[in-house]
Chain A
Amino acid sequence: MEPVISFTDVTKHFGITHALDHTTLSIRKGEFVSLVGPSGCGKSTVLRLGSGLIRPSSGQITRSSDSIGYIFQEPTLMPWRTVEQNVRFLGELEGMNREENSRRTSEVLSLVGLEEFRDFYPLALSGGMKMRTSIARSMLLDPELFLFDEPFGALDQISRARLNAELTGLFADRRFAALFVTHSVDEAVFLASRLLVMSKRPGRIVAEFEIPYSFPRNPSIRYEPEFAVLAGKVAATLAEAS
């Protein structure tokens, strides 16, 4: 199967800063790839490159489709639009037919459990609900590739664990391709089917782990011994790379 996205020997400089060094990776449909690394190692740069927001200094990036769901670090909602209006926004931009847009909006709102809050403005929502809205928005156009830029970093532990579990449910359902950047080892292991560890700047991929659990995942796997062993290995590799 063709990869949905692949990096071939990609390097990125910002002025004199060497952000990313000879990176090669590819993600197929049905793969959930986590990327962990020390802060400032160029993880977000990988996402910006992957989405086409910035271009590589050298190397090649190919994508099978232009349709990407990008979930930012902050919910990045429009405060003047309700939950529903935020979600349907991308449909409006892409000229989607009104009824189709409404139908899709209701669909994705129910997937993230926000139907009851559709008429709320972001001002009135908790951090977790804002993030759900942001995820719903990214799902509206049903992209093949999702890029997550540490989306749950600002949430409390309970909301974070719940959204992690829900995300594995969405993935089990739709089997898209995902690249999830985080610096939480626990979160990276819990979500991924494959996990990449990045070194400190200039970032490069130094290790790769297969995560054997099936999707959707139960939060309780976090407390299984194998999970702890795996997370321990990842943490040790990460510590070495930092």
Chain B
Amino acid sequence: MSDRTITNSADTEESTGKARSILQVAVPPTLVFLLILLIWYAITYFVLEPDRRFLLPPPHGIVQEGILTLETLAEIGGGLYRTTTVSLLGLAIAFALGFSMALVMSQAKWIERSLYPWAVVCQTVPILALVPLLGFWFGFGLMSRIIVCVIIALFPIVINSLTGLQSVEPKLHDLLTLHKANRWTRALRLQIPAARPLIFTGLRTSAGLSVIGAIVGDFFFGRGQPGLGILLDRYSRRLKSEELLAAVIAACLLGVVVFWIFGVIGRRAVGHWDPSWADERD
């Protein structure tokens, strides 16, 4: 009986603790959001002259034009869908390619030395310079857009996976050597499991980059089925500021959601044993 009382009180304590921590997490950013809205309204109505108000339409105008107008909503929704598809496909390919590169590089110093500079080139190449060339070679459709994403998202995956694969304690390698493990066993049983926390870190970083790549590619190819990039370009040319801001917000939301989802995946996968992921919050 007394046991039960103790358990119950512990439960309540835990749940109030949880409620408190949710409050702590949710309240401050909400306050900042309200503050931003306040400043926004202030600029729209007190700083801008009525004839220049189109530069920063009020938030409720954006809701009205961008979300409550079905035609625009469908347009932005379609763009969001296409951009999401492109960035996820790009991310998947970048992951397959980047992880394979890292795995191969981890097997021998000379392979690492041969491939590493090219991974760096991917990172440093000004993607805009390549866009016309990619369009020229692969057309202005899905393929070119995905290639832009892959180029932009590749490096963090390669570098994080490689660091992870090489992060294994040397003594664990000794243990496998004592038991005559071959290269495959070493990779499958030791290096890949050990690399997972960093692989997920790379994946999360690249997921955000891949969204940027999808939008940038779309923006500069400027042809084909419109994604968010084309819409941004179109709305700004036509001075449709409500729609423009609605599209910007959609792009931001996509970035945040993708980052968050990969955070949750990483925490679920390795949070129970890796301290750096265990401390993460939603």
Residues of A within 8 A of B (CB): 51-53, 68, 70, 72-74, 76, 78-80, 89-90, 92-94, 121-123
Contacts of A79 in B (CB 8 A): 194, 273-274
A76 and B169 in contact (CB under 8 A), knowing A93-B185, A121-B273, A123-B273? Answer: yes
Instruction: Give the residue of A70, A80, A122 whose beta carbon is less than 8 angstroms from that of B175.
Output: A70
Q: How many Å from the CB of A135 to the closest CB on chain B?
A: 13
A68 and B178 in contact (CB under 8 A), knowing A78-B194, A79-B274? Answer: yes
Contacts of B178 in A (CB 8 A): 51-53, 68, 70
Q: Which residue of A lies closest to B181 (CB)?
A: A93
Instruction: Give the residue of B174, B190, B272 whose beta carbon is less than 8 angstroms from that of A70.
Output: B174
A123 and B275 in contact (CB under 8 A), knowing A51-B178, A94-B179? Answer: yes
Contacts of B189 in A (CB 8 A): 89, 92-93
A-B contact pairs, 18 of them (CB 8 A): A53-B178, A68-B178, A72-B174, A76-B175, A78-B190, A78-B194, A79-B194, A80-B193, A80-B196, A80-B270, A80-B274, A90-B175, A93-B176, A93-B179, A93-B181, A94-B179, A121-B273, A123-B273
10 new A-B contacts at CB < 8 Å, known A70-B174, A72-B175, A93-B189: A51-B178, A73-B171, A74-B169, A79-B194, A80-B270, A80-B274, A93-B179, A94-B179, A121-B272, A123-B278
Contacts of B171 in A (CB 8 A): 72-74, 76
Contacts of B278 in A (CB 8 A): 123
Q: How many Å from the CB of B177 to the closest CB on chain A?
A: 6
Contacts of A68 in B (CB 8 A): 178
Secondary structure type dominating chain A contacts: loop
Interface: B172 (CB within 8 A):
yes
Contacts of A94 in B (CB 8 A): 179
Q: How far is the CA of A155 from the CA of B171 in the complex (A)?
A: 19
Q: How many Å from the CB of A129 to the closest CB on chain B?
A: 15
Q: How many Å from the CB of A5 to the closest CB on chain B?
A: 14
A80 and B273 in contact (CB under 8 A), knowing A90-B179, A93-B179, A94-B179? Answer: yes
A78 and B185 in contact (CB under 8 A), knowing A70-B174, A72-B174? Answer: no
* A-facing residues in B144-188 (Cβ within 8 Å): 169, 171-172, 174-179, 181, 185
Contacts of B175 in A (CB 8 A): 70, 72, 76, 90
Q: How many Å from the CB of B212 to the closest CB on chain A?
A: 32
Q: Which residue of A lies closest to B169 (CB)?
A: A76
Q: How far is the CA of A52 from the CA of B177 in the complex (A)?
A: 9
Contacts of B275 in A (CB 8 A): 123
Q: How far is the CA of A193 from the CA of B237 in the complex (A)?
A: 88
Instruction: Give the residue of A53, A73, A76 whose beta carbon is less than 8 angstroms from that of B172.
Output: A76
Q: How many Å from the CB of A168 to the closest CB on chain B?
A: 25
Contacts of B270 in A (CB 8 A): 80
Q: Mark B194-215, 1 if CB is under 8 A from A, else 0.
A: 1010000000000000000000
A53 and B185 in contact (CB under 8 A), knowing A90-B179, A94-B179, A123-B275? Answer: no
Contact at B181–A53, with CB atoms within 8 Å? no
Q: How many Å from the CB of B261 to the closest CB on chain A?
A: 22
Q: Which residue of B lies closest to A70 (CB)?
A: B178
Contacts of B194 in A (CB 8 A): 78-80
Q: How far is the CA of A162 from the CA of B28 in the complex (A)?
A: 50
Q: How far is the CA of A93 from the CA of B177 in the complex (A)?
A: 11
Q: How far is the CA of A51 from the CA of B196 in the complex (A)?
A: 30
Q: Mark B6-34, 1 if CB is under 8 A from A, else 0.
A: 00000000000000000000000000000
Contacts of B193 in A (CB 8 A): 78, 80
Contacts of B174 in A (CB 8 A): 53, 70, 72
Contacts of A123 in B (CB 8 A): 273, 275, 278
Contacts of A53 in B (CB 8 A): 174, 177-178
Contacts of A122 in B (CB 8 A): 273
Q: How far is the CA of A74 from the CA of B172 in the complex (A)?
A: 10
Q: Which residue of B lies closest to A69 (CB)?
A: B178
Contacts of B181 in A (CB 8 A): 93
Q: How many Å from the CB of B168 to the closest CB on chain A?
A: 9
Q: How many Å from the CB of A127 to the closest CB on chain B?
A: 16
Contacts of B176 in A (CB 8 A): 93
Nearest first, the 10 closest Cβ-Cβ pairs linking A and B are A76-B171, A121-B273, A72-B171, A93-B179, A79-B273, A80-B273, A80-B193, A123-B273, A76-B172, A53-B174
Q: How many Å from the CB of B223 to the closest CB on chain A?
A: 47
Q: Which residue of A lies closest to B190 (CB)?
A: A78
